[in-house]
Structures are given as structure tokens and as C-alpha cells.
């Protein structure tokens, strides 16, 4: 039997490793320079933030059926995120997929695969949110959840086309509930799942008796701002309460409260009504805004609406023994944190820059943005574990805005991957379907007409002249 020396073994192993590395480069579709890191490793790292079997769920939701061109779920997800997160047009997504050897797809083929992934993306978002809620329940026995909605419009629209409904965990500064609906999706506290003991914080849009009743029946707690006319308050005897005589007796600085009852489809519940007079400047600003809105709609403002604009009105189920009126007013002011989340989603992730006009493609676009936001939050959790002292500094906390910007760029880099310029030039003869302008009724394009005209003029000027 022949024996193999140690040197020969090392040479064989080294050759195998070189061949494996060459195969990886060939599969990546790019001629990488020597020593250049395989940034597809970052894509694998991004995939690990999603705690589910992507291949299985893609087939269960029929997002991946016939494996033609796009052969695996990870490639399909990458294709979807290239459209949703990188904000590329469908044709450029097809060009990128060709260069990355994901598949040779036309813009129409890309659109069909992206649209078909809608149920799959919904399931991925749900799985990540469920995992997040389990972690938060273990870490925070008392949770304050801020809920709000934001309007989204498609290109050319003058109104609301979609709504993003969000639940935000105040203690962890993380999203724990996301739902995307059309314009008919109403704001309600019953939209997001919760558990007993959760404190729900919401503005006047959520002051609806059925939604509040759903939370109270489930042993949750509420802190909700109300309007004088939209949230009927009752006395313990069952009669409707006129709050204005009571409001006029409130001093200029201190909050006041009284016990009230509400009737909901889930039963009758007792609440605390808390009111505080606003500074005169804030009250005048509110009244001016109300008058301007009514003027645009051609309506007359009720005098009671103008009077109520000088107060902040809250209802809560939290006991007075544990929460004073002043503390609850301070808690409600923290509701602004969810507005900052919407601002980051729209300004950094371009959530409101919907590229698609069709409802199916538009919803996938928004779901892809939501999935990207959740992945970035998981990346933030990883950074917190890696360097806890940096994120624990109460005097100089990490800027959420800057972190979201950095996380977005890392995710974009992971999705795009590395494509060398030489590989692009090598593939250029095969990219005409993506780069060339579509024909328009068989008429030549203006750039072609201009080139032809200038070429003819140049030839006329350079022709030899004869005496």
C-alpha cells in the first residue's frame, strides 16, 4: 500500500481549499480580487436574524414552487429585498440578479416572483414579531406599549392608500407589532395581540369604546387621550356626563381627576378621567388649527370643541394608588417615541416612497421594508450584547437615528453583495434587455436621431471641396 507523506497531504488539502474558494467565487458571479472578503458572508449573517426555515416556509406559502431560474428561498428573499430595500426598479433588479447568477429574469418575471412572495413575507414578519414578544415578556414584566398608525400614499396619489399600524415597546425601544392595511384599516387597540398587565398608550384616534373594552376584558391597562364628543363617559348610575362644568373649575396648573364609567361590547368598566389645563399659547395654537381645518372643509366649529382644545383629557384604568395623575400625564408625553419610529422608517428606510402603483406589488414593497426594519433591530440587539457599556450610557445614549442609518447601510451591503467591474464588463453583451431603452411605437429615440444628425453634419463638413 502506498503511503502519503505529510507534505503531500498538506499540498492536497491546500489544493482542495483553493478549488473550493474558486467555486465560491464562480457561484458568486464575480471575479473577486485577491484578498477581497466574500461579502456574501454578510448576507448569510443577515439570514440568521430570521428564526425560521426559509425553504420550508417559502414552499408552504407557495412563494417558491417551480424552481426555474430562482432555485432556493434565500435567493428569492434576496431578490425581494433588492426591490424593496435597495429601491431598484424591476429591470435593474433583473440585471443585478443576472450578475449574481440568481437567475436570468426579465422585469416582468421579477415582478411576478416578488408579488407571489407576499404571503411568505407576511409569515416572516409574524415569526419575527412573535419571537420579539417572547423575548420582551421575559425581560420586562411590566410593558408599556405605544400604538399608532401612519398614512402611506402611492405615487401620484393625493390621499391615503395604505396604513402602517405599529406597536412599540417603550422599555426596549423595539417594535413588537406591525400590520399593513389599506385605507379602510381603522385604528383600534384590538389590532395587536397583547397579554394581561400590558399598559397600552395611545392618542385620540384609539379612543373607541370597543377597542378599549377589548383590552380591559383581557386584563390589560390603558392610558388613552380622548375627545369630548367621541368617547362617551357615564356616571356610575349610567347617565351621560357633561365634563365642561367640571373642566371650568380646574386650576391653571394642577391636574384634576374623577371616576367615570364606559359601556363597551365586552361589558361596563370603570376608568379615571384626568384633565389638565394647557398653557394659553398651546390652547390658542390648537384652536387656530381646528378653525383652519374646519375652514378647508367648509364646516362650522362647535364652541365646545374650541373650549375642549384648551385641555388635555386622558382616561386610564391604572390605579391611583400606583400612578398619580401627574405621572400619567408624564407617561403620555412619551407617546412621541412612536412618532420618531415613523420618522425613521420614512426618512431612513424610505417607507413612504412606494415605487409600485399596483396594490399587490405595493404591499410587498411595504412588507419588505417592515422586514428590513426588524432585521436592523436584531442587528442592534447583537451590537448591544457585544458592547453593553456603550448602549447603557444614560447621559450619552447611542443615537437611534444614526444606528438605524448604519444598520440600513450594512443590510444594503449584505443584500447587494460584491460584483466586480470586470465581471460586469464581461457580462455586458448579455445585458441589453436590462440596459437598452424599450422601443416606442417603432419610432427612433431622440438620442439616436441626434447622433445620426450630428454624424451626417460632421461628414458633410469633412468632405473634400472641389473648385
pLDDT tens-digit map of 26-58: 444 333 333 344 457 889 999 999 999 999 999
- The helix or strand, by DSSP H or E, that contains position 214, with its residue range, turns out to be helix 209-217
pLDDT at 456: 79
The stretch 1-21 carries a mean pLDDT of 40
- The helix or strand, by DSSP H or E, that contains position 27, with its residue range, turns out to be helix 6-28
Question: 386 vs 451, which has greater pLDDT?
Answer: 386
Is 293 a domain residue?
yes
**DSSP string of 127-144, one letter each residue:** HHHHHHHHHHHHH-SS-E
Does residue 451 carry a pLDDT above 60?
yes
Least confident of 221-225, 273-277, 427-431, 445-449: 445-449
Does residue 7 carry a pLDDT above 50?
no
Does residue 304 carry a pLDDT above 50?
yes
- Provide the pairing of β-strand 199-202 with 221-225: parallel
The model's pLDDT over 341-354, given as tens digits with 9 standing for 90+, comes to 999 999 999 998 88
Helix (H, G, I), strand (E, B) or coil at 393: coil
Least confident of 130-134, 259-263, 284-288: 130-134
Q: Torsion-angle region of residue 62: left (phi > 0), alpha (psi -120 to 50) or beta?
A: left
Top-ranked range on mean pLDDT: pick from 62-71, 349-358, 415-424: 415-424
Is 373 a domain residue?
no
pLDDT at 1: 37
pLDDT at 463: 60
Least confident of 34-48, 186-200, 260-274, 411-425: 34-48
DSSP label of 278: P
Last residue of a domain, one of 322, 352, 387: 322
Does residue 77 carry a pLDDT above 80?
yes
Percent of the chain scoring above 90 in pLDDT: 62
Is 344 a domain residue?
no
Where b means 16+ CB within 10 Å and e means fewer, 138-176 reads eeeeebbbbbbbbebebeeeeebbbbbbbbbbbebebbb
pLDDT at 8: 42
Is 233 a domain residue?
yes
pLDDT at 217: 94
Helix (H, G, I), strand (E, B) or coil at 315: strand
Domain housing 25: 1-30
Percent of the chain scoring above 70 in pLDDT: 89
Q: How many other C-beta atoms can be found within 10 angstroms of the C-beta atom of residue 435? A: 10
Question: 445 vs 303, which has greater pLDDT?
Answer: 303
Is 422 a domain residue?
no
Last residue of a domain, one of 276, 307, 322: 322
Where b means 16+ CB within 10 Å and e means fewer, 403-431 reads bbebbbeebeebbbbbbbeebeeebeeee
Q: Please give the tally of structural domains in the chain.
A: 2
User: Integer distance in angstroms from the first to the last C-alpha of the chain?
Assistant: 95
- Provide the pairing of β-strand 174-182 with 144-152: unpaired
Least confident of 74-88, 112-126, 294-308, 429-443: 429-443
Is 220 a domain residue?
no
Question: 10 vs 104, which has greater pLDDT?
Answer: 104
123 grid coordinates = 409569515
pLDDT at 466: 56
Numbers of helices and strands, H then E, in the chain = 19, 8
Least confident of 196-205, 370-379, 390-399: 390-399
403 and 74 Cβ atoms separated by less than 8 Å: no
The stretch 132-150 carries a mean pLDDT of 86
The stretch 114-125 carries a mean pLDDT of 94
The model's pLDDT over 149-162, given as tens digits with 9 standing for 90+, comes to 999 988 888 888 99
Is 175 a domain residue?
no
Is 91 a domain residue?
no
The mean pLDDT of the chain is 86
pLDDT at 465: 57
pLDDT at 141: 75
pLDDT at 140: 75
Instruction: For residue 450, name the pLDDT band (cuts at 50, 70, 90).
Output: confident
- The helix or strand, by DSSP H or E, that contains position 311, with its residue range, turns out to be strand 311-316
Question: 19 vs 79, which has greater pLDDT?
Answer: 79
Nearest to 202 by CA among 278, 316, 345, 351: 316
3-state SS of 431-466 is CHHHHCCCCECCECCHHHHHHHHHHHHHHHHHCCCC
Amino acid at each position: 500500500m502506498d503511503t502519503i507523506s505529510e507534505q503531500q497531504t498538506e499540498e492536497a488539502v491546500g489544493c482542495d481549499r483553493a478549488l473550493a474558494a474558486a467555486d465560491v467565487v464562480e457561484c458568486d458571479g464575480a471575479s473577486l480580487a485577491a484578498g477581497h472578503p466574500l461579502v456574501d458572508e454578510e448576507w448569510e449573517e443577515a439570514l440568521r436574524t430570521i428564526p425560521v426555515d426559509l425553504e420550508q416556509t417559502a414552499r408552504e406559502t407557495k412563494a417558491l414552487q417551480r424552481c426555474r431560474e430562482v432555485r432556493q428561498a434565500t435567493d428569492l428573499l434576496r431578490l425581494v429585498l433588492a426591490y424593496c430595500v435597495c429601491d431598484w426598479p424591476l429591470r435593474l433588479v433583473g440585471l443585478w440578479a443576472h450578475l449574481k447568477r440568481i437567475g436570468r429574469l426579465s422585469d416582468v418575471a421579477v415582478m411576478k416572483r416578488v408579488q407571489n412572495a407576499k404571503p411568505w413575507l407576511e409569515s416572516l414578519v409574524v415569526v419575527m414579531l412573535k419571537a420579539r414578544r417572547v423575548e420582551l415578556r421575559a425581560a420586562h414584566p411590566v410593558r408599556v406599549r405605544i400604538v399608532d398608525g401612519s398614512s402611506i400614499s402611492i405615487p401620484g396619489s393625493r390621499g391615503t392608500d395604505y396604513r402602517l399600524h405599529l406597536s412599540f415597546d417603550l422599555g426596549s425601544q423595539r417594535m413588537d407589532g406591525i400590520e399593513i392595511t389599506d385605507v379602510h384599516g381603522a385604528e383600534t387597540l384590538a389590532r395587536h395581540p397583547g397579554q394581561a398587565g400590558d399598559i397600552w398608550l395611545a392618542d385620540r384616534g384609539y379612543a373607541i369604546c370597543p377597542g378599549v373594552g377589548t383590552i380591559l376584558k383581557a386584563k390589560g391597562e390603558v392610558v388613552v387621550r380622548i375627545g369630548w364628543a367621541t368617547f362617551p363617559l357615564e356616571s356610575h348610575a349610567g347617565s351621560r356626563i357633561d365634563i365642561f362644568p367640571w373642566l371650568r373649575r380646574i386650576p391653571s396648573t394642577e391636574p384634576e381627576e374623577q371616576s367615570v364609567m364606559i359601556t363597551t361590547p365586552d361589558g361596563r368598566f370603570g376608568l379615571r378621567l384626568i384633565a389638565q389645563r394647557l398653557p394659553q399659547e398651546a390652547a390658542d395654537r390648537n384652536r387656530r388649527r381646528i378653525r383652519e381645518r374646519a375652514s378647508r372643509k367648509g364646516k362650522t366649529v362647535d364652541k365646545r370643541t374650541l373650549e375642549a382644545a384648551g385641555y388635555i383629557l386622558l382616561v386610564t384604568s391604572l390605579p391611583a394608588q400606583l400612578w398619580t395623575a401627574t405621572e400619567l400625564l408624564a407617561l403620555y408625553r412619551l407617546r412621541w417615541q412612536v412618532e420618531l419610529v415613523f420618522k425613521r422608517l420614512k426618512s431612513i428606510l424610505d417607507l413612504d416612497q412606494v415605487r409600485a402603483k399596483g396594490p399587490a406589488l405595493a404591499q410587498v414593497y411595504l412588507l419588505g421594508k417592515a422586514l428590513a426594519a426588524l432585521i436592523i433591530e436584531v442587528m442592534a440587539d447583537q451590537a448591544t450584547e457585544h458592547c453593553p457599556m456603550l448602549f447603557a450610557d444614560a447621559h450619552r445614549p447611542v443615537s437611534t437615528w444614526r444606528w438605524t442609518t448604519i444598520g440600513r447601510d450594512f443590510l444594503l451591503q449584505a443584500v447587494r453583495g460584491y460584483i466586480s467591474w470586470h465581471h460586469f464588463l464581461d457580462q455586458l453583451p448579455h445585458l441589453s434587455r436590462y440596459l437598452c431603452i424599450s422601443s416606442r411605437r417603432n419610432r427612433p429615440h431622440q438620442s439616436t436621431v441626434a447622433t445620426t444628425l450630428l454624424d451626417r453634419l460632421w461628414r458633410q463638413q469633412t468632405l473634400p471641396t472641389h473648385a
